[in-house]
Structure 1
Amino acid sequence: MQADSMQAQAPCSKAKRPKLNQTTWILISLIAGALVGIILSFFVHKGDVVSAYFIEGVCYVVGQGFVRLMQMIVVPLVFCSIVVGAASMSDPKMLGKIGGGTIAMYLLTTALAVLIALGISHLTNPGLGLDLDSVVRVTPKAAENQTIQQVILNIIPTNIFAGMAKGSMLQIIFFALMLGFILGHLGSKVGTVNRFFTQFNAVMMRMISIILKVAPIGIFFLMVRTFTNLGFTGVLPMLNFILTVYLGLAIQLFIVYMLILFIFTRINPIHFLKKYIPVMLFAFTTSSSNACIPLNMETLEKRIGVHPKVASFTIPLGATINMDGTAIMQGAAVVFAAQAFGIDLTTAAFLSVVVTATAASIGTAGVPGVGTIMLTMVFTTVGLPVEGVAMIMGIDRILDMGRTVINVTGDGVVTTCIANATGLLKRDVFKNDSIQAVNPEDVDLSTEPQDYNDFTIAPERSEIGGAGNMDKFAELEYPAKKQKTEQKAQQEH
């Protein structure tokens, strides 16, 4: 009897301990890392043993190692996903509608972001009362001052392999779009090539599921190092500027984005934010738009209901050209530096800020800290001393976390709007009450390649391989099916 009662209680006790999902672990690691970092900031000093070996040793290696894991798959993931997405849109009108609409919305939201930052900064006056001469100056590395013509021409690669090696995302996207469009136009004639990119894209998705399993560990060490080095006293002189930037980010998120989302889709913005919070938390901790690409795409497809054809195109593109958060920081920084140096900027200068910051966002890579480098180009354009960037570099990590959230959320909002406009938004998926993050089980793909039927079912025989039998690779894609066929043949004999 006692044994039976113990056996009966075992399942009950086991059921009371639910398994924590990925969202919960990321949130726990985020809070724990911040608390540990704040505590250590009171006891750890630069140059001591703890700082040298733990903060700048273990925390730096593990944290940056995790970010590099995510960045490692960005180039092949972006290239393959855009090729597959463009190839599946064999209709040129569909590709043109999605591409043109996406770019137009990205540029519009970026221009609005700069205007919001300039307006708020004139109300808060972040640079008044600050004497930059009393601050230690660190001259940042100047960014290349490119004209708009050069930015446009640099989109076209002279050597695509060199562009991939350098991580030139705009060049990669341009070439991938052309390749995918041609593959989709030729259809079954290039079925073998289509299969390769589809299957390689599936391999990248499987790699994502493996990397995401170590996300809580990497995020914990990232936050420990960030808050240990910054502390509270180091950012107090810049508190007004920080609050100004975050106020602009909040307006962009809760007013501009939510209005755009509601006007173009008529869906509930609050429900969207609830489902999108895991991506925002991930963006906040990694400060990298590129690192958020995999989780962003999966969340939009699995939780929001965006079709993969849209997400695979708009998200990688947005991670490169949609930098609304960075534009807000740059607009506020211009007013901050102008007030701190006592320089009066004209209306024409502020208009130049809008144009230059928008262009700078296009050339800004989605990696941590690069926004301050591009800021030197904005300062040079309006005649501000680039030494002002040195002040912002000291608190860039705090700003970078917030503006990356806006960058990534803007990608998701525009993607949802474009999907709705093209009839590729599954509203039943969005209305589902599930607001959890993408679990590893959801990211874990089956053995079948994505969109397999788009490239294997053809009305006529392929011209590749002589015989042109599209099913000659079936044994590679379905090894279990081949094994059953062989067993059946042996039984017949």
Structure 2
Amino acid sequence: MKKWYKQLHWQIIIGLVLGLIWGLIASVSGFTEFTIDYIQPVGTIFINLLKLIAVPLVLASLIVGVTNLNDVTQLSRMGGKTIGIYLVTTICAITIGLTVVNIIQPGDFLPAETQEQLMSSYEGNIEGSAESAQEVIDRSPMTFFVDIVPQNFFKAASDNGNMLQVVFVAILLGIGLIQIPSDKSKSLVNFFDSLNEVIIKIVDLVMKIAPYGVFALMAGVIVDLAGDDIGQALNLLGALGWYCVAVLVGLLLHLFIVYSSLFKMFSKMKLTDFFKAIRPAMLLGFSTSSSSATLPVTMERVEKNVGVDEEVASFVLPIGATINMDGTSLYQAVAAVFIAQALGLDLGLGQQLTIVITATLASIGSAGVPGAGIIMLVIVLQAIQVPVEGIALILGVDRILDMCRTAVNITGDAAVSVAVAHTEGLLGEMHLEDDE
């Protein structure tokens, strides 16, 4: 058995803690510019490496999974289950968020002078988000489905935000391969199978530098938040403390209530064992704030440690990374009500039901749009007639909360893959002697 400090998840945690300490030291000692110029780029390189292998991994593993399936009916059934469970967990997340924020009422704790200071500091950061949100609202209801089908595969594959298009092409290729004689398809299937194995090995190599990448990312987050004055960051966190508490409590409740219920309904897996199996992916999601960047690691952990069959993981997880945003949707609900409370606006039951509907639709409608979290929030605020400018109240702590909600998003994707795999009879045994 490995010594604890040689296990991957502990190395990542150590990297997180040391990055936090360095960021604080840099802010106090004036090493902010050094951190931004020489340490933060290491984290950027690490994220770029993960993003680099995301598209080829999804393409290769999904093609191999479809060709092994040999049953288009089973594939369509799996798709229906995936979308259905994603929608249910998203609605649960929003409902939990609304419940928590109405109980805590964090907006009542924000002094008027703090509101004015935050609004003046961050109001310039939301102009572009309002325009992008309007573009999403103006889309045709069928635009989402039209966007899934690319005009040019190579253009789609050049942008990780177009992951659904890559999934579509991979499924199409897989179906085409099972429609022709095996003697003609064998060489191409073997090629993608070999490519898949190579990429998995590359994931293992990239993960060797994960602790250093996480250290650099965390140091960069603290420096970005605090600048040269750590007191400013602490004052900001103090002013928005109850808002942060509401978001974090909601996320924890969703993790332990919704996902444990999901496992009781669809498998015999223990939630604690599930967390142990995917913790490196959760920690990376927290560090990178990117579901797409973490996707290769999530897929590897779900297949290798959780026991989900490759054809399920390669189908469910890329879709989840694009449209399933449990953590983000919960955050939308808390943020919308918090802003309304801070501005002295009372939201009735009808408006809060509007938040549930709008946030659910926005989580799908804004898929693949850069800065999707803020754009989704603009759409929700417009739907309940709360001034969009109120977003300035929360932008100061958004980066930290984004890390938390991304970790929940990734956990949700993995949990749904377990449920779908169990219903398809494609869930194997767990392997918890991990971090090899």
What's the TM-score, normalizing by structure 2? 0.88
- CA distance in structure 2 between the aligned counterparts of 1:282 and 1:299, rounded to whole angstroms: 12
1:280 to 274, 279, 282: 282
Matches within 5 A, 1:29-68: 29-44=15-30, 50-52=31-33, 54-68=34-48
**DSSP 3-state at the match of 2:106:** coil
Matches within 5 A, 1:300-449: 300-364=302-366, 370-426=372-428, 429-430=429-430, 434-437=432-435, 439=436
Structure 2 CA distance for partners of 1:383 and 1:156, relative to 1, 3 Å: farther
Structure 2 CA distance for partners of 1:368 and 1:266, relative to 1, 3 Å: farther
**DSSP 3-state at the match of 1:86:** helix
Matches within 5 A, 1:42-441: 42-44=28-30, 50-52=31-33, 54-130=34-110, 131=112, 132-135=115-118, 136=120, 137-140=123-126, 141-142=128-129, 143=132, 144-146=135-137, 147=139, 148-167=141-160, 168-186=162-180, 188=182, 189-230=184-225, 231-364=233-366, 370-426=372-428, 429-430=429-430, 434-437=432-435, 439=436
Structure 2 CA distance for partners of 1:181 and 1:346, relative to 1, 3 Å: farther
Offset from partner CA, 1:213-248 (integer Å, 9 cap, x none): 211111111111212333433321111111111111
Offset from partner CA, 1:231-289 (integer Å, 9 cap, x none): 43332111111111111100110111111112211222222222232222222112111
Deviation, 1:435, is 4.5
What amino acid is aligned across from residue 421 of structure 2 in structure 1? A
1:482 corresponds to: none
The farther-off stretch of 166-175 and 255-264 is 166-175
The farther-off stretch of 315-324 and 138-147 is 138-147
Relative to its length, the structure with more helix (as a share) is 2
Deviation, 1:327, is 0.3
Cα contact 2:327–2:409 (8 A) shared by 1: yes
Gaps of 5+ in 1: 1-14, 45-49, 440-493
- CA distance in structure 2 between the aligned counterparts of 1:378 and 1:210, rounded to whole angstroms: 41
Deviation, 1:366, is 7.5
**DSSP 3-state at the match of 2:23:** helix
- CA distance in structure 2 between the aligned counterparts of 1:95 and 1:399, rounded to whole angstroms: 36
Over alpha carbons, which structure has the higher Rg? 1
- CA distance in structure 1 between the aligned counterparts of 2:36 and 2:2, rounded to whole angstroms: 40
**DSSP 3-state at the match of 2:188:** helix
- CA distance in structure 2 between the aligned counterparts of 1:30 and 1:368, rounded to whole angstroms: 25
- CA distance in structure 2 between the aligned counterparts of 1:370 and 1:26, rounded to whole angstroms: 27
- CA distance in structure 1 between the aligned counterparts of 2:375 and 2:395, rounded to whole angstroms: 9
1:453 corresponds to: none
- CA distance in structure 2 between the aligned counterparts of 1:358 and 1:371, rounded to whole angstroms: 12
Cα contact 1:288–1:367 (8 A) shared by 2: no
What amino acid is aligned across from residue 174 of structure 1 in structure 2? F
Cα contact 1:121–1:335 (8 A) shared by 2: yes
What amino acid is aligned across from residue 107 of structure 1 in structure 2? L
- CA distance in structure 2 between the aligned counterparts of 1:18 and 1:409, rounded to whole angstroms: 23
Structure 2 CA distance for partners of 1:394 and 1:115, relative to 1, 3 Å: same
**DSSP 3-state at the match of 2:426:** coil
What's the TM-score, normalizing by structure 1? 0.78
- CA distance in structure 1 between the aligned counterparts of 2:72 and 2:371, rounded to whole angstroms: 37
- CA distance in structure 2 between the aligned counterparts of 1:343 and 1:164, rounded to whole angstroms: 45
- CA distance in structure 2 between the aligned counterparts of 1:347 and 1:184, rounded to whole angstroms: 51
| Alignment size in residue pairs | 414
Deviation, 1:367, is 9.6
- CA distance in structure 1 between the aligned counterparts of 2:179 and 2:329, rounded to whole angstroms: 37
1:24 corresponds to: 10
Offset from partner CA, 1:331-370 (integer Å, 9 cap, x none): 1111011112223334333233222212222245579954
The farther-off stretch of 102-111 and 342-351 is 342-351
Deviation, 1:133, is 3.0
Identity in percent: 38
Cα contact 2:93–2:329 (8 A) shared by 1: yes
| CA RMSD between the two structures | 2.4
What amino acid is aligned across from residue 173 of structure 1 in structure 2? V
What amino acid is aligned across from residue 223 of structure 1 in structure 2? M
Offset from partner CA, 1:3-32 (integer Å, 9 cap, x none): xxxxxxxxxxxx998981322321211121
Structure 2 CA distance for partners of 1:169 and 1:392, relative to 1, 3 Å: farther
- CA distance in structure 2 between the aligned counterparts of 1:69 and 1:367, rounded to whole angstroms: 21
